[in-house]
Amino acid sequence: MVMQNQIDTEALVHVRFNGRSFDVALRQLDVGAGASDAEIKQALARCLGVTERELADYTIDRHRNGNLTVRPNAVFG
């Protein structure tokens, strides 16, 4: 039960990349909640095995609960 509470309160990065959606624990990326967008994109690129350039136009939304959402930049029109 304690393990489940740790999982429930762990900050997550919700990722939408290449047509897929998945979650990565922020600690797995080895960055803290105060990391810059560039640092988060660098760590996520390493995790995904892609170049940082592939995430250059992505947006990072920061949520009050500590979670992050990394998604393609919205295009309207």
The predicted structure's pLDDT at residue 2? 43
CB-based contacts of 5, cutoff 8 Å, min separation 6: none
Please give the class, per CATH, of domain 2-72: alpha beta
Least confident range from 4-8, 32-36, 70-74: namely 4-8
**Model confidence pLDDT, tens digit, residues 18-70:** 999 999 999 999 998 789 999 999 999 999 999 999 999 999 999 999 999 99
How far from 8 is each of 32, 65, 70, 71, CA to CA, in Å? 17, 11, 20, 22
The predicted structure's pLDDT at residue 46? 96
**Band of pLDDT at residue 15, cut at 50, 70 and 90:** very high
The predicted structure's pLDDT at residue 10? 86
Q: Return the beta strands (E) in the chain as ranges.
A: 12-17, 20-25, 58-62, 68-72
Nearest to 17, CA basis, from 58, 53, 51 = 58
Instruction: Judge whether 57 and 72 are in contact, CB under 8 Å.
Output: yes
